[in-house]
Amino acid sequence: MTGPEFLALAVDLSFAIVMVSIAMGFYRIAKGPSFGDRVVALDMMTISIMGFCGLFAIFARDTAFLDVAIVLALIGFLTTLALARFAERRQRETREEEGDQ
C-alpha cells in the first residue's frame, strides 16, 4: 500500500467516524433528558463538524475549508458561553422562586 492510498483510506475511514459522531450528537440532542446534555451534544457536534471541514480540506486539497473550521470554532465557543449563561440564569431564578415559597 502506497502513501497516497493509505491517506485515501484513512480519510474515508475518518469521514465515517465523524458521521457516526454527528449522528450520535443528533440522537443526544433529541433524546437528552436534561438541558446540560443537549448543550454538551451541541458542542460535540460543533467539534465533529470542524473535524469534517478539516478532513474535507485534506480530501479536496483546498485550504478554504480550514477557514470555515476556524469560524465554526469561534461560533461554537460563543454559543457555549451563551447557553451556559442562560442555564446559570435559569438555575438562579429557580432558586429564588423556591426561596420565596
pTM of the model: 0.83
Distance CA 72, CA 88 (A): 24
Q: String of b and e for 1-38 (b: at least 16 CB within 10 Å)?
A: eeeeeeeeeeeeebeeebeebbeebeebbeebeeeeeb
Q: How many domains does the chain have?
A: 1
**What is the model's pLDDT at position 101?**
65
User: Which tens digit of pLDDT belongs to each residue from 26-61?
Assistant: 999 999 888 889 999 999 999 999 999 999 999 999
**Domain extent for 19:** 3-100
Copy the grid coordinates of residue 78: 460563543
Assign 3-class secondary structure to 20-71.
HHHHHHHHHHHHCCCHHHHHHHHHHHHHHHHHHHHHHHHHHCCCHHHHHHHH
Q: What is the CATH number of the domain that holds 25?
A: 1.10.287
